[in-house]
Amino acid sequence: MEGRRAGERLADAADGRLPVLDGGGKLLRKAFPDHWSFLLGEIALYSLVVLVLTGVWLTFFFTPGMGDVVYDGRYAPLRGVLMSQAFDSTLHVSFDVRGGLLVRQMHHWAALVFVAAIGVHLLRIFLTGAFRRPREMNWTIGVTLFALALAEGFAGYSLPDDLLSGTGLRIAQGIMLSLPIIGTYVSLFVFGSAFPGHDIVSRLYGVHILLLPGALVALVTVHLILVVYLKHTQWRGPGRTNRNVVGKPLFPQFMASSTGLSLTVFGVLALLGGIAQINPVWTYGPYRPDHVSTGSQPDWYVGFLEGSLRLMPPWETNVAGHTIMWNVLLPAVVLPALLFLVLYAYPFVEQRLTGERHEEHHLCDRPRERPVRTGLCAAGVTFYGVLLLAGANDIMAASFHLSLNALTWVLRTALVVAPILAFLLARRLCHALLEAEQKRLTEGEETGEVRQTVEGGYESSHEPVTRFRPGAPMKPLSPDESRTGRPARRPPAPAPRRR
């Protein structure tokens, strides 16, 4: 009893100074839908937590300097080799610090999972229409988070100053130089002098551990606040409307399942860091401007840029004494800018074209219910996949004994044709699924029994449908209820009679 009274007094004291019961109690009763697709964003969140924890640990041992030192560590093949302080400290973390290689590899795996989880989460939001009013700002924040994650990954990937990351920085400098008129000034501003200079690693270090993480954490916080404020989207179903959310309360059910997911993410990343080797910089060696490693490939999330550079024909134009390198400017600057511009603008364009910009939407669409949107998503993923394959065209040509030139032309053709085919196929598949579903609801499910009719023919027996997927209709839809495009226009309400 004394312990209970002490707890009550503590709760009363806290509530008198903080919104524990009024604000916190309402927050703890907040409902969250229970479906696996809504957990993709949490995987990104917990990967970010692992990134922060392992990154803080690594800062105690990493030296962001480009001064020359002679290696004298445990890795015998590189002893006596001249290298930068950054590469030397990376080897020190990997071979001399207890648990250093495990933490370093966990950090790298967490970065890959973080970017992948954001990408898949954005795909889920796109395919279900969860970006519509009132969540356009959250979609914008999510796309910005994806862009910042790409920049953060590239900055961290470049810090060890190994031969692979140095080659990536050389490509980045070439992209800067492709900017008309200002390219040289941008390159000198970033590198501090002629490439590779002596400042790039220390500058990237500050960006990697302070600027970009701060922006990521701030945007994630705003994103979560908006999720709570605007309430979570949910699948259609009995009792689910635009005005409510059916699911688990935040405490204790949702918090327990979310804690279990966080521990799973931590465990999987620790397992990957322990048994799956990634980015073995000691096999690449320190960066030298006159060396390029054979078959060098960037991390997957920037592989599409590598592919776009390889597929672009060698086009250049001389204007007033200035050379415009279209073969670098278009694939590495214009193309990414257009891709993100489309992502930012799509929610507003779609809602304007479909007439939904004045309505709030809290119920998710199934991808088959929006064939055009699903087709566009399939086309975009196919476009990205072709560019990703093109980033490894030399590896594929060598592995399968193909002509590199022929493979490049095949991929150039596929970059134009494959997205169109993917769009048409996905749209047709959506219509076919809707027709099959409508037939299933109208006629019922087949039982597998076949009986002979009085006329001598055969027919299969059916039974009412009893199993439904999340968001699926439970009765045949009328033409006015179809959700495959522009919503049906409701007839105007009769004008009130004058008395």
Which domains occur in the chain, in start order? 30-286 (1.20.810.10), 366-443 (no CATH)
Instruction: State the pTM of this model.
Output: 0.87
CB atoms within 10 A of CB 168: 21
Cβ(470)–Cβ(246) below 8 Å: no
CA distance 380 to 249: 36
- Cα 453 from chain centroid (whole Å): 56
CA distance 223 to 418: 35
Please identify which residue in the block is written with the tokens 């931590």.
Answer: 266
Cβ(361)–Cβ(234) below 8 Å: no
Total residue length of the chain: 499
Give the DSSP H/E element, type plus range, for residue 125: helix 100-128
Strand extents, DSSP E, 158-296: 248-249
| Nearest C-alpha neighbor of 364 from the set 132, 200, 43, 191 | 132
In tens digits, the chain (499 residues) has pLDDT values of 666 677 677 767 766 666 655 556 677 777 888 888 889 999 999 999 999 999 999 999 999 999 999 999 999 999 999 999 999 999 999 999 999 999 999 999 999 999 999 999 999 999 999 999 999 999 999 999 999 999 999 999 999 999 999 988 999 999 999 998 899 999 999 998 888 888 899 999 999 999 999 999 999 999 999 998 888 898 888 788 888 888 888 777 888 899 999 999 999 999 999 999 999 999 999 998 887 776 678 888 889 999 999 999 988 888 877 788 899 999 999 999 999 999 999 999 999 999 888 888 899 999 999 999 999 999 999 999 999 999 999 999 999 999 999 999 999 999 999 999 999 999 999 999 999 888 888 877 777 777 777 777 777 777 777 777 777 776 776 655 555 555 444 444 444 444 3
Task: For residue 222, give both structure tokens.
Answer: 């705003």
